Amino acid sequence: MAHDTILLTNKVCCNFGGLKALSDLDLEIIENSIHSLIGPNGAGKTTAFNVISQNIKPTSGEIWFRGARIDGVKPHQVAEIGMSRTYQNIRLFANVTAIENILVGMHLHLRSTWWGSIFNTPATRADEKRAHDEALRLLEFVDLKGRGDIIARNLPYGDQRRLEIARALAAQPKLLLLDEPTAGMNPHEISDMMDFIRKVRDEVGVTILLIEHQMRIVMALSDKVTVLDHGQKIAEGLPKEVQGNPAVIEAYLGSGKLVPKKARDAARATLNA
């Protein structure tokens, strides 16, 4: 494993009954890069996130993160060594405040012991103060300054997406997995999110693995792109290289089927958008 590789998967498979959701996936994520995972619906992108974060145990293969083999370990152990993720459908604690959501994400890094929290020792109070200050700093970083006391579900959609990222960042990850962070956003929110993703990489120094459907965003943000189709890697390279790849265009059209010219043009337009 080269010194600048943060995550490596080696022939990772994930079967659901007879369905091969991932077949022999080899991925190499370079530290401090923005690496995009793309492909049509059902290609296996979210499954790749699930096996990398150990939310699902891979059927076979190896996964290495920061020099340690992690396939088969518990998701919280993966989090402890520096991996955080967000979900395709927002998973916030909807009925608690924005700041409490961030504090939950931070709990891994609080030093306090359980008896400290029971007896409310000075050390615990100091930790709580530090955590609260850090949560406020994160809120400001994700442009939610002053909105910490709002119940999560009452925040606008774009704010909820950024809050979820703030919660993921609260665990101080080295690698952040973002599953369609711009889904359902308007063009203005999308452009803000793109700037924000760059800021997370450039200012916090977090490596980013991104699932994204809109090619415009993939082209603008990615250092490298991996394309999945039916659980298999069908292309990989610089954004420009994969965009023009005939196999990628075929995948977006639905492989093996006779496709009307109109649909073919629509798929090309998606890739060129």
Residues that bind ligand ATP (CB under 6 A): 16, 19, 21, 39, 41-47, 88
Asked if 175 and 6 count as a contact pair (C-beta separation under 8 A), the reply is yes
Q: Which is nearer to ligand ATP, 157 or 204 (CB)?
A: 157
Judged by beta carbon, residue 45 or residue 167, the one nearer Mg ion is: 45
For Mg ion, the closer CB: 35 or 174: 35
Taking the C-alpha atoms of residue 221 and residue 224, their distance in angstroms, rounded to an integer, is 9
Four-point Cα dihedral 122, 124, 126, 130, nearest 10: 180
Could you tell which of Mg ion, ligand ATP, none binds residue 214, using a CB distance below 5 to 8 A set by kind?
none
Nearest to 149 by CA among 103, 218, 189, 194: 103
> From the CB of 48, what's the least distance to ligand ATP, in Å?
7
How many Å apart are CA 84 and CA 2, to the nearest integer? Answer: 22
SS3 22: strand
* Smallest separation, CB 76 to ligand ATP (Å): 20
Q: Least Å distance between CB 63 and ligand ATP?
A: 16
Binding partner of 16, given ligand ATP, Mg ion, none, CB within 5-8 angstroms per partner class: ligand ATP
CA pair distance 9, 64, nearest whole angstrom: 6
38 vs 193 by CB, closer to Mg ion: 38
Contacts with Mg ion, residue ranges (CB under 5 A): 45-46, 88
Closer residue to ligand ATP, CB minimum distance, 142 or 176: 176
Cross-strand partners of 8: 28, 64
Which CB atom, from 131 or from 210, has the smaller least distance to Mg ion?
210
Please state the closest distance from residue 41 (CB atom) to ligand ATP, in A.
3
Q: Minimum distance from CB of 42 to Mg ion (Å)?
A: 8
DSSP 154-184: GS-HHHHHHHHHHHHHHT--SEEEEESTTTT
Which of Mg ion, ligand ATP, none has residue 47 at its interface (CB below 5 to 8 Å by kind)?
ligand ATP
Query: What is the number of other CB atoms lying within 10 angstroms of the CB of residue 201?
Result: 18
Binding site partner of 39, from ligand ATP, Mg ion, none, Cβ cut-off 5-8 A by kind: ligand ATP
